[in-house]
C-alpha cells in the first residue's frame, strides 16, 4: 500500500490515494496499524482520498483507534493539497466530499505547491440533540459539568489542586462542525490535566457518540490558546474542526470575537464565524512530510 504522511499544524495522518490505487480492504485495521507511533508509521489516523461523483475528491477519515469519523478540518486541508499537488484536480478552488457534505476549499499556491488552505466549514450545528448530547436545553452554552466530572473532582484531591492551579472553569459549551465538540475555559491551559479530563469527558454518557474535548485560554477577544483531546485519538497537536468550534463557542459565551487567531501546540489557525452567511471559515497550513510503502 503506497502512502503519504502529511500534517496540518501538527495534526498528522497517513494518506492513501484511492483515486489512482486500490482502497484498503479493511481501513479500520489499517488505521490502527499505521497510527501506532512505536510499531507503525505514527499518526493521528488514516485518511483515504477517493473518487467522488459530486466533487473533485472524497475524504474518508479514520481515527487512530480505527473508528470512522465524520470530518477533520486539518485533514481536509491536506487532502486539498494532495489533490492539487498530485494532479488529481488542478484548480485554485476545489470541492471535497466529506461526511458532512461537500465543502469548498481555496488554495494558496507557491512555486506550484499548496502552502495554505482556506476551508468553508459550513454552518455550526448548535442544537443539543443534533450535536449530539443529552444535556438539557436547546443549546448547551456554559452548562455545568456532568455528574461524571463532579464525581471525579470529589474523589481526587490532586485533580482539584491541578484544576485550581489552571484556573479551570468546568462549564461546558457544545458545538458540532459535522462532528461533536465540547469547549471549556481555563486561565492557564498548560496546567490543565488534559489526559485525564479529556478521556473522561470523551466517554461521558451525556455524549452518546463520544466527543472531542478542548480547553481554551483567552488572551484577548481575537486570540486564544487551545489544547485538544480528540475522540478516538487522544491528545493531538491540532484539531481544525475543534478550532472552528472554539471560535463559535467564544462568540456564544461572549468571550471572543467572530474573527479569531487560535494557537495550537502544532501551529496557528485563523478562524472566522461570518455574520453574512453563518459559515465558519478556517485558514491554515498543509504539509507533505514523506511517502513510502506499507506492507499491507
* CA–CA dist 262, 191 (Å, integer): 18
| Inter-residue contact 195 to 159 (CB < 8 Å) | no
239 included as an active-site residue? yes
- The catalytic position among 72, 78, 174, 247 is 72
Strand 234-236 to 259-264 pairing: unpaired
What is the rounded CA–CA span in Å between residue 182 and residue 212?
Answer: 6
Q: Containing H/E element for 24?
A: none
Alpha helices in 50-156 (DSSP H): 73-85, 147-155
Q: Is 174 a catalytic residue?
A: no
Q: How far is 73 from 78, CA to CA, in rounded Å? A: 9
The three cell numbers of residue 79 are 487532502
In the set 18, 78, 174, 239, the catalytic residue is 239
Compute CA distances 96 → 83, 145, 152, 228, whole Å.
Answer: 10, 36, 41, 25
Catalytic residues: 72, 239
Amino acid at each position: 500500500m503506497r502512502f503519504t504522511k502529511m500534517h496540518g499544524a501538527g495534526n498528522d495522518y497517513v494518506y492513501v490515494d484511492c483515486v489512482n490505487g486500490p482502497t484498503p480492504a479493511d481501513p479500520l485495521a489499517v488505521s490502527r496499524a499505521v497510527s501506532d507511533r512505536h510499531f507503525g508509521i505514527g499518526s493521528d489516523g488514516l485518511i483515504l482520498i477517493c473518487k467522488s461523483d459530486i466533487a473533485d475528491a472524497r475524504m474518508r477519515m479514520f481515527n487512530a483507534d480505527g473508528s470512522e469519523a465524520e470530518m477533520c478540518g486539518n485533514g481536509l486541508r491536506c487532502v486539498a493539497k494532495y489533490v492539487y499537488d498530485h494532479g488529481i484536480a488542478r484548480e485554485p478552488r476545489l470541492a471535497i466530499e466529506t461526511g458532512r457534505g461537500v465543502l469548498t476549499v481555496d488554495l494558496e499556491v507557491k512555486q506550484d505547491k499548496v502552502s495554505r488552505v482556506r476551508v468553508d466549514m459550513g454552518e455550526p450545528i448548535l442544537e443539543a440533540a443534533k450535536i449530539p448530547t443529552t444535556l438539557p436545553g436547546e443549546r448547551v452554552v456554559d452548562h455545568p459539568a456532568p455528574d461524571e466530572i463532579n464525581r471525579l473532582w470529589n474523589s481526587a484531591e490532586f485533580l482539584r489542586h491541578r484544576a485550581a492551579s489552571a484556573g479551570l472553569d468546568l462549564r461546558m459549551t457544545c458545538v458540532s462542525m459535522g462532528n461533536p465538540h465540547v469547549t471549556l475555559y481555563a486561565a492557564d491551559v498548560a496546567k490543565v490535566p488534559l489526559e485525564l479530563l479529556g478521556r473522561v469527558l470523551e466517554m461521558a454518557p451525556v455524549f452518546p457518540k463520544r466527543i472531542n474535548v478542548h480547553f481554551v485560554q483567552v488572551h484577548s477577544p481575537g486570540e486564544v490558546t487551545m489544547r485538544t483531546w480528540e475522540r478516538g485519538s487522544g491528545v493531538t497537536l491540532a484539531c481544525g474542526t475543534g478550532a472552528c468550534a472554539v471560535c463559535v463557542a467564544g462568540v456564544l459565551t461572549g468571550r471572543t470575537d467572530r474573527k479569531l487567531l487560535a494557537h495550537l501546540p502544532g501551529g496557528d489557525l485563523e478562524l472566522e464565524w461570518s455574520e453574512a452567511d453563518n459559515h465558519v471559515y478556517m485558514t491554515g497550513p498543509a504539509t507533505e512530510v514523506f511517502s513510502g510503502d506499507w506492507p499491507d
